[in-house]
């Protein structure tokens, strides 16, 4: 059963940033990460989130000439789970971003360091160390040859950089048909990197961007929040969230939060259901004149869920 959506606007400000409207603002006030987040949400949209290299160039321009050593951005350690390097939501149909085919006995996180995924020639996924050296498969959205096998062994991050520079990204496997096409490229007995990785960080505005620009050796164990160095390197490091420092906000088109009342016999917090619901909301808002490139994000509650049952619904179930 599809959920019935009753959309109701409430008077709480939030932002939808489109590709043509996103701007970054440096705030030269020393605040903790939480204080900076409150400030940005009150006077702008949110702390800065970086979608891609173009966003990063905009951020660099916003802090050019700043002499402070570092500033908070909107990235914070908060268990997210396994996700694909290619984060464009339009690339995935309903449920495709959650496609997994783990080999029996895998997801064992041997040594506590297996945060990247590989695939064998049977199409089964293995969790492996991101610092291991494996061949890899790129996805290229611009040519008929969509899947490109690279025999040179690289670490996962280096493979991701290669694919993004030469093609589109490390390959995503969205369904059984693609799984077969990808596994056909894997030599017998070999493992190759794919674009699946375990992410421990979440953007303040809940965007799904996998863009990262860590300094060498980062992230480490210095803290749960992320600062951007304002030196020529412009790289990121994790730091103690309670240390005051300046910060970078982002601006976008001002909108109001949508509160949704859903009637469904299904679990609306299920990832597949959330994708379906978001697509319905997106289409409704586009029909009302919202730009097609606008990005919508769920507002995650303190317990990590999106939806909670209404009290009267809970009483009716007693």
**Eight-class DSSP state of 97:** G
Write down the pTM of the prediction.
Answer: 0.58
Q: Are 4 and 264 in contact (CB under 8 A)?
A: yes
Q: Are 98 and 84 in contact (CB under 8 A)?
A: no
pLDDT string in tens for the chain (318-residue length): 344 443 333 333 445 554 446 899 999 999 999 999 999 999 998 999 998 888 899 999 999 989 889 999 999 998 668 889 997 778 898 889 899 999 999 988 877 788 899 999 999 999 999 989 999 999 998 888 899 999 999 999 899 989 999 999 999 999 999 999 999 999 999 999 999 998 788 899 877 677 888 888 888 889 999 999 997 678 999 999 999 999 999 987 544 456 666 666 777 777 777 777 778 877 877 776 666 656 666 766 655 667 767 555 444 444
Which pLDDT score, from 0 to 100, does residue 9 have? 31
Domains of the chain, each with CATH number or no CATH: 4-10+260-316 (no CATH), 22-77+210-251 (3.10.100.10), 86-200 (no CATH)
CA atoms of 205 and 295, how far apart (whole Å): 10
> Token pair 């490390």 is at which residue?
170
Which helix (H) or strand (E) element contains residue 281?
Answer: helix 271-287
CA atoms of 151 and 187, how far apart (whole Å): 10
Which pLDDT score, from 0 to 100, does residue 316 have? 47
């Amino acid at each position: 059963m599809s959920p019935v959506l009753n959309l109701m606007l409430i008077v709480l400000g939030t932002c939808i940033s489109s590709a043509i409207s996103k701007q970054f603002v440096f705030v030269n006030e020393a605040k903790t990460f939480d204080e900076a987040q409150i400030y940005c949400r009150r006077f702008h949209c949110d702390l800065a989130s970086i979608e891609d290299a173009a966003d990063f160039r905009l951020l660099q321009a916003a802090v050019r000439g700043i002499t402070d050593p570092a500033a908070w951005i909107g990235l914070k350690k908060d268990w997210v789970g396994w996700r694909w390097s290619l984060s464009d939501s339009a690339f995935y149909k309903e449920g495709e971003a959650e496609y997994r085919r783990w080999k029996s006995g895998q997801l064992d996180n041997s040594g506590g360091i297996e945060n990247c995924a590989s695939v064998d020639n049977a199409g089964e996924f293995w969790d492996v160390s991101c610092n291991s050296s494996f061949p890899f498969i790129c996805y290229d959205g611009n040519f008929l040859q969509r899947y490109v096998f690279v025999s040179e062994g690289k670490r996962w991050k280096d493979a991701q950089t290669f694919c993004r520079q030469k093609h589109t990204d490390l390959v995503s496997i969205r369904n059984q048909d693609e799984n077969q096409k990808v596994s056909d490229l894997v030599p017998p007995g070999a493992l190759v990197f794919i674009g699946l990785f375990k992410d421990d960080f979440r953007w303040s505005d809940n965007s799904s961007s996998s863009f990262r620009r860590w300094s060498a050796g980062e992230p480490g164990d210095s803290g749960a929040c992320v600062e951007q160095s304002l030196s020529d390197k412009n790289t990121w490091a994790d730091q103690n969230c309670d240390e005051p420092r300046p910060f970078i906000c982002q601006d976008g088109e001002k909108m109001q939060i949508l509160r949704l009342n859903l009637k469904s016999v299904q679990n609306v917090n299920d990832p597949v259901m959330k994708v379906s619901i978001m697509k319905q909301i997106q289409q409704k808002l586009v029909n009302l004149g919202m730009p097609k490139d606008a990005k919508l994000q769920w507002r995650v509650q303190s317990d990590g869920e999106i939806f909670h049952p209404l009290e009267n619904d809970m009483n009716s179930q007693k």
